[in-house]
Each structure stands twice: as structure tokens, then as C-alpha cells.
């Protein structure tokens, strides 16, 4: 993970108690599921898609799309998994870093996502439910003697008394879980690699279909939207006068506006 990605990942759960749960309850998933969020078990098994005739097929497919298109970018950072990257690549697609090929989203990066989610899950359940019910709702300040405030700060491994950032420390158990997640992800990726990246390719297919992407790679060019009624635009023109044999002179009008060059209006006068 890059330095920026580590910072974003840390911020997701450090300040997540106030801001980042929004991605869970205001994204496509939260809007369709009324603020309920996937379980930790669903996240770590997100690539396990059942057969099409299974009653959970549509939910699992929707969850995988949300995972690669919403959750992963928030955890590893848009510098690694921004929209112009994830719409044209798999998470495991190689990229050169210091002359070495590494996956765009490393196993440790994905493991960090799982660790963050598992750490914050209990408080996010309550926070997202409140935000979905009332978007203006604010998280109450933690009060030791008021137990009703504790549920909004309930994490598994966040340690308020350590770390360089406020509420930015980890308890030792977190590193054990993180290392176990990293090992599981590497094993899963090896298995999927032997199967021709079947599961990661399916995730890419879902994401591209969702955003109607057909190009094989990002070019930076935007697709021009056609409109049934063109809006008149101002244009400038320059007059070119040229003498040709048999003619006194020929005057050409060269329009410098794309509106007049054939995208709208009557072109007969310019042909």
C-alpha cells in the first residue's frame, strides 16, 4: 500500500465513527437495503458466488459489485483503485512498482479492508441505521456514565490510548487478525490464478456492466452525448481568399466551432 493509501485506510476507522460510515448507508447498497450492512462473514466470502438458480445469487452478485466499486476504494485509496483504474482492470492486475510487478490492490491492502470492516462493524451497524432513518442525525459525544452512547464507539481493536493519531492505535490482536486475513487472501488469489482469475474477472465484468464501460482501456476521452435538439452556439469564422486558374477568386469560409463543423445545423452552406 502507498503512503496515501495507508493514511486513508487509517482515517477510515479513526474518523470513521463520524464520517466514513456514510459510504455504507448512502451508497447503492445502503439505499437499497435500508441502512443494513453486510456481515463480516459476507465480506470475507464476498467472491463466493453461488449458482444462478440459488436464492442468494442476486444478493451475492450485488454485494460483490458494491465491494469492488465502493468499499475497496474507501479502504485502499483512490490513488490505487480509482474509478479510471477499477473500470478497466482487475484488483489483481499487475502494475510496476520500483521495477517490480505487483497487483494493483495487494493482498495486504485487501486484508486491511477486512480488518477495518471487522474492527468497526459493531458501531457501524448502529450508526448506519440512525443515519438512514434521519440523515441529519449526529453521533452523540461519548460519555462514560451514559451507556447509550457506547454503542456508537464500540470497536474490536481500536485503542484510544496508543498510536500517533487520536484514536489511531491498534491493540495487538488486530495484527494477528490482519496477518491471518493476508494469508487467506494470498491463498485465495493463488487458487483463482490457477482457475484463470475466474472470480476476479467476474467482479470486473459486473463493475464494467454497471457503468456501461466497453473500452478496453482508459484513454481520458469522454464519450460525447448526443442530443435530439442541438443548442445554438456562437462561432467564429475566418475568410480565406485564394486565386485559382479560371476563377477571379474563391472565398472559403472556415468555421472554427464544432457546432457548425457538422455536429448540428445545416452543413450545405459549408460544403
Residues 74 and 184 in one domain: yes
Contacts of 75 (CB under 8 A, 6+ apart): 8, 9, 12, 109, 112, 113, 116, 117
Residues 154 and 45 in one domain: yes
Residue where the block lists cell 463493475: 207
* Cα 171 from Cα 163, distance rounded (Å): 10
Residue 215 lies in a domain: no
Residues 205 and 241 in one domain: no
Residue 225 lies in a domain: no
Which DSSP symbol is given to 151?
G
Ranges under pLDDT 50 in the chain: 1-19, 233-244, 247-271
The pLDDT value recorded for residue 135 is: 81
Residues 14 and 114 in one domain: yes
Q: Where are the alpha helices (DSSP H) in the chain?
A: 3-14, 22-25, 28-32, 40-44, 57-66, 72-76, 78-81, 83-86, 107-133, 172-194, 198-210
DSSP letters spanning 42-93: HHHTTT-PPPTTSTTHHHHHHHHHHIIIIIHHHHH-HHHH-HHHHTTS-TT-
Residue 146 lies in a domain: yes
Residue where the block lists cell 481568399: 241
The pLDDT value recorded for residue 262 is: 41
Residue 220 lies in a domain: no
Residues 124 and 249 in one domain: no
The pLDDT value recorded for residue 229 is: 57
Query: How many residues in the chain?
Result: 271
Residues 256 and 166 in one domain: no
Residues 162 and 62 in one domain: yes
Q: Tell which residue, 204, 17, 175, has the closest CA to residue 105.
A: 204
Residue 10 lies in a domain: yes
Burial class (CB in 10 A: 0-12, 13-18, 19+), 251: exposed
Residues 243 and 168 in one domain: no
The cell for 248 is 477571379
> Which residues form the domain of 261?
237-270
Residues 242 and 189 in one domain: no
Tally of CB atoms within 10 A around 23 = 19
Sign, CA dihedral 99-104-107-109, equals: positive
The cell for 31 is 439505499
N- to C-terminal Cα separation, the chain? 57
Residues 153 and 257 in one domain: no
Residues 245 and 157 in one domain: no
Q: Which helix (H) or strand (E) holds 158?
A: strand 158-159
* Cα 219 from Cα 222, distance rounded (Å): 8
The pLDDT value recorded for residue 133 is: 83
pTM score, whole prediction: 0.72
Residues 205 and 249 in one domain: no
**Structural domains in the chain (count):** 2
**pLDDT tens-place string over residues 118-170:** 998 998 888 888 888 888 888 899 898 999 999 988 889 986 655 555 556 78
* Cα 90 from Cα 201, distance rounded (Å): 7
Q: Which of 210, 228, 256 is the last residue of a domain?
A: 210
Residue 218 lies in a domain: no
Residue 221 lies in a domain: no
CB 72 within 8 A of CB 166: no
Residue 230 lies in a domain: no
Amino acid at each position: 500500500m502507498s503512503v496515501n493509501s495507508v493514511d486513508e485506510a487509517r482515517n477510515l476507522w479513526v474518523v470513521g465513527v463520524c464520517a466514513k460510515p456514510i459510504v455504507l448507508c448512502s451508497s447503492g447498497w445502503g439505499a437499497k437495503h435500508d441502512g443494513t450492512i453486510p456481515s463480516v462473514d459476507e465480506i470475507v466470502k464476498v467472491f463466493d458466488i453461488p449458482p444462478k438458480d440459488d436464492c442468494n445469487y442476486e444478493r451475492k452478485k450485488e454485494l460483490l459489485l458494491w465491494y469492488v466499486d465502493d468499499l475497496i476504494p474507501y479502504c485502499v485509496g483512490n490513488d490505487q483503485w480509482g474509478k479510471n483504474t477499477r473500470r478497466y482492470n482487475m484488483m489483481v492486475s499487475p502494475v510496476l512498482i520500483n521495477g517490480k510487478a505487483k497487483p494493483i490492490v495487494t493482498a495486504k491492502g485487501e486484508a486491511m479492508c477486512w480488518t477495518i470492516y471487522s474492527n468497526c462493524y459493531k458501531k457501524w451497524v448502529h450508526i448506519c441505521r440512525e443515519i438512514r432513518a434521519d440523515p441529519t442525525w449526529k453521533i452523540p459525544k461519548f460519555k462514560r456514565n451514559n451507556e447509550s452512547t457506547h454503542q456508537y464507539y464500540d470497536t474490536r481493536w481500536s485503542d484510544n490510548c496508543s498510536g500517533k493519531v487520536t484514536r489511531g492505535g491498534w491493540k495487538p490482536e488486530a495484527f494477528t487478525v490482519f496477518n491471518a486475513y493476508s494469508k487467506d487472501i494470498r491463498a485465495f488469489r493463488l487458487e483463482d490464478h490457477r482457475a484463470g482469475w475466474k472470480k476476479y474477472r467476474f467482479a470486473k465484468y459486473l463493475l464494467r456492466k454497471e457503468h456501461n464501460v466497453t473500452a478496453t482501456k482508459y484513454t481520458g476521452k469522454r464519450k460525447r452525448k448526443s442530443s435530439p435538439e442541438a443548442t445554438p452556439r456562437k462561432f467564429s469564422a475566418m475568410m480565406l481568399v485564394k486565386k485559382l486558374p479560371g476563377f477571379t477568386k474563391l472565398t472559403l469560409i472556415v468555421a472554427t466551432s464544432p457546432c457548425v463543423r457538422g455536429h448540428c445545423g445545416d452543413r450545405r452552406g459549408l460544403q
